[in-house]
Amino acid sequence: MARVKTVYVCQQCGAQSPRWVGKCPGCGGWNSYVEERTAAPRQDPRTGIVRDEPPTLLKDVTTRAQDRLSAGIPELDRVLGGGVVPGSVILIGGDPGIGKSTLILQAMKHIAAASQTVLYISGEESAQQTKLRADRLGACGVEDQLFIANQVDVTAIQASLERMRPDVVVVDSIQVVYHPEISSSPGSVSQVRECAALLTQLAKSMNIALFIIGHVTKDGAIAGPRVLEHLVDTVLYFEGDRYASYRVIRSMKNRFGSTNELGVFEMTGAGLMEVANPSELFLSERARESSGSVVVPVLEGTRAFLVEIQGLVSRSTFGVARQKSHGFDPNRLALLTAVLEKRLGLNLVDKDVFLNVAGGVRVMDPAADLGVVMTVASALLDVVIPADLIFLGEVGLSAEVRSVSQIALRLKEAGKLGFRRCVVPKNNIQKRTDIQSGMEILAVANIQEALEAFTTLSQETT
């Protein structure tokens, strides 16, 4: 009989300890250790698939171009770097109900229609439940190539892969898959780590494109050990409010493409529909005669699109003023608010500042700093910013407006939607003489000049 051993494992970094500790010495997380009882496995779970190859000179290694498989969804192909690479392992995480399974099933429908054998392993839903979703998405016209299996035993999954030799496999989700040789419960650190390692080696050895769907914790990170993200080739995060209609998918790691790309989708009754022009969609409901509203061209990878940043400043009803933001880094908002108060002398010490990026988009581009500063100033002074004016620039602690990248691409996107004036950093204009946007350019060196520019334009408009 196998000897049972009790250990405590950190759910964040996978560190082990013979006793429970409050703070993990590895990652610094509090109350992250859970008890696990493990028994020595009767055999190595990965026996039989480890390749014994002698070392080879790097110059002697032969390579060939990989023909990518199109997912049939241009927005998803863009984030993946141009399509699915055979033999790659892709991890997709997101909040419950965000649409992970829906998106993957839609992609598998298109891949199967291209004469590729697809095996969808559903561990959380029965085959009948998956069939109902497929009927709604119209994925049942490719029955000859799209297979479904309700299985959570990784050894049975391995047997199915060796028997079928499919081109693409989906595991939904990794937290419910378990190995019978490991005594801990499904979803534990040991089970997730070993099952993911086994499936990854199978995909590499059999040249199978593997999609793994993962749950996320309350902090937004993929549940399980951090090694899970190191094992795979690509990590995608599906973001957005489950009660809103827009979804955004980002690449956080990609061995076969850029990590700066972004895909935008809209959730409908027929599934996720890609948004070809997110700028027009995000600005379609913009209130033009309201203070505290600014449009900013942000850049995600090779794509530039416009978002509306909304601000509200009100008198604090509590003892301490608050800064709350949705879709923008709250720490960055606090820093920019402090710059406004210190450098421009605006009284915000007893004011609550609220910021929202319309459409459920999360903005991380530093070029949005100037737009955020002007949004807060407009809301505080109750001055309406002209509807055809946009702002671009990174703001420093000395209130200087720093240059941003790809300004010509940003202005071109703004010009398509009818914006005619733009406040940009002065250094961008000095460095770039090839900007042909047809827009009136207002170059500023600091936020004081930017504030004076939009105040003057607002008075001219009124």
Distance (Å, whole) CA 152 – CA 320: 51
Determine how β-strand 271-274 pairs with β-strand 262-268: antiparallel
Distance (Å, whole) CA 50 – CA 53: 9
Residue 47 tokens read as 């026996």
- Segment 108-147, tens digit of pLDDT: 999 998 889 999 999 888 888 888 888 888 766 655 788 9
Residue 116 Ramachandran class (φ > 0 left, ψ -120 to 50 alpha, else beta): beta
Distance (Å, whole) CA 462 – CA 458: 6
The reported pLDDT for the residue numbered 76 is: 92
Per-residue pLDDT at 42 exceeds 70: no
Distance (Å, whole) CA 187 – CA 140: 31
In this structure, the answer to whether residues 250 and 309 fall within a common structural domain is no
- Segment 262-317, tens digit of pLDDT: 888 888 878 888 887 888 777 877 877 788 999 999 987 778 889 999 999 999 88
**Which domain CATH number covers 294?**
3.30.230.10
Which residue, of 232, 258, 275, is where some domain finishes? 275
Burial class (CB in 10 A: 0-12, 13-18, 19+), 16: middle
59-81 residues labelled b (16+ CB within 10 A) or e (exposed) = eeeeeeeeebbbbbbebbbbbbb
In this structure, the answer to whether residues 186 and 162 fall within a common structural domain is yes
In this structure, the answer to whether residues 330 and 185 fall within a common structural domain is no
Residue with tokens 């593997």: 210
Distance (Å, whole) CA 462 – CA 453: 15
- Residue 214: φ, ψ to 5°: -125, 150
In this structure, the answer to whether residues 212 and 80 fall within a common structural domain is yes
- Segment 45-70, tens digit of pLDDT: 444 445 567 888 888 887 776 688 99
- Segment 189-213, tens digit of pLDDT: 889 989 999 999 999 999 999 999 9
As a whole number, mean pLDDT of residues 401-414 equals 89
Answer positive or negative: Cα dihedral of 303, 274, 223, 204.
negative
In this structure, the answer to whether residues 237 and 129 fall within a common structural domain is yes
| Cα R_g (the chain), whole angstroms | 26
The residue segments making up the domain with residue 35 are 4-39
**Structural domains counted in the chain:** 3
